[in-house]
Amino acid sequence: MRTRGYIEKFMEENKCITIKNLNLYYGDNHALKNINMDIFKNKITAFIGPSGCGKSTLLRCLNRMNDLIETCRIEGNIEVEGFASQIYDKSIDVNALRKSVGMVFQKPNVFPMSIFDNIAFGPRTHGIKKKPELQAIVEDSLTKAGIWNEVKDNLKKSALALSGGQQQRICIARALAVQPEILLMDEPTSALDPISTGIIEDLCDQLKKNYSIVIVTHNMQQALRIADRTAFFLLGEMIEESKTVDLFNRPQTEQCERYITGKFG
């Protein structure tokens, strides 16, 4: 029989991100307040909570996208597997971090170029120039994103000509093309129809076999369907985090219980 210590050690070894005492400020606005949590390998972790509670802000901390905001100031540590120092250390190569921790945004943001060039863009940026190698990466990435069979005969076609759901899968393929370890998804289905949403959700379930996924969603049913773990945020604080089934069936805080039962938010 496995002891509690064994299980705790197993969980420790399977963390891919550790967030410690994280505080974030936009000027005088204290947007994230003392966040402490772990993200686990090959799991889907969902961030839920009302608008403006800090979900997307925390997500953007994980690959330093908030660096682009002049008024942003961050205290605390974020450790990502594969990096010797915490990611806000001056020694960290931000480009290498963003290669390892990919991002898919709320609205499909394909580039105004061909499907092939959309997927090859990242690898080319990182020094891959040979066409056979690029062709292999494009096919592999589109296959993993579940869209290869739909576009394989039209790779020279503009990605802008695709449907919204197809464009979002192109964005996922583009993120996968640089071989990340972690995939961040900021409400990736909020602009999509139910059929496209279901395709993306099924895709996430497949992708977690090889990637660790963190997804921000306003759709609590989506979190229930696809997330292994869920964290509930309110007013910049992480109120509760646990296995998804436990958080929804046995919330430990009144705020979380009120939110998931629709009493506010």
CATH code of the domain containing 240 = 3.40.50.300
Task: Please tell me the least confidently modeled range out of 4-8, 42-46, 68-72, 174-178.
Answer: 4-8
Residues 6+ apart with CB under 8 A from 152: 139, 142
Q: For the chain, how many structural domains are there in total?
A: 1
pLDDT above 80 (res 3): no
User: Is 35 inside any structural domain?
Assistant: no
Of residues 81, 48, 60, the one with CA closest to residue 184? 60
Over residues 115-124, the mean pLDDT reads 96
> What is the secondary structure of 20-42 as a DSSP string?
EEEEEEETTEEEEEEEEEEEETT
pLDDT recorded at residue 13:
62
pLDDT above 80 (res 98): yes
DSSP code at position 68: G
Q: What are the phi and psi torsion angles at 14 (to 5°)?
A: -105, 20
Over residues 19-33, the mean pLDDT reads 96
Q: In what order do the strands lie in the sheet with 182-186?
A: 101-104, 182-186, 212-216, 44-48, 229-234, 237-243
How far is it, in rounded angstroms, from Cα 45 to Cα 212? Answer: 8
pLDDT above 80 (res 10): no
Question: What range defines the domain where residue 222 resides?
Answer: 41-68+91-260
Over residues 189-196, the mean pLDDT reads 92
Number of helical (H) and strand (E) elements in the chain, helices listed first: 11, 9
User: Is 252 inside any structural domain?
Assistant: yes
CB atoms within 10 A of CB 224: 17
pLDDT recorded at residue 9:
46
pLDDT above 80 (res 4): no
pLDDT recorded at residue 36:
98
58-93: pLDDT as tens digits: 999 999 999 989 999 999 999 999 998 899 999 999
pLDDT above 50 (res 2): no
Confidence of residue 109 (pLDDT cuts 50, 70, 90): very high
User: Is 7 inside any structural domain?
Assistant: no
Confidence of residue 265 (pLDDT cuts 50, 70, 90): low
User: Is 29 inside any structural domain?
Assistant: no
User: Is 135 inside any structural domain?
Assistant: yes
If you average pLDDT over every residue of the chain, what do you get? 93
| pTM score, whole prediction | 0.91
User: Is 46 inside any structural domain?
Assistant: yes
How far is it, in rounded angstroms, from Cα 245 to Cα 243? Answer: 6
Residues 6+ apart with CB under 8 A from 139: 148, 152
201-259: pLDDT as tens digits: 999 999 999 999 999 999 999 999 999 999 999 999 999 999 999 999 999 999 999 99
User: Is 190 inside any structural domain?
Assistant: yes
pLDDT above 90 (res 5): no
**Residue holding tokens 């070894």?**
13
User: Is 34 inside any structural domain?
Assistant: no
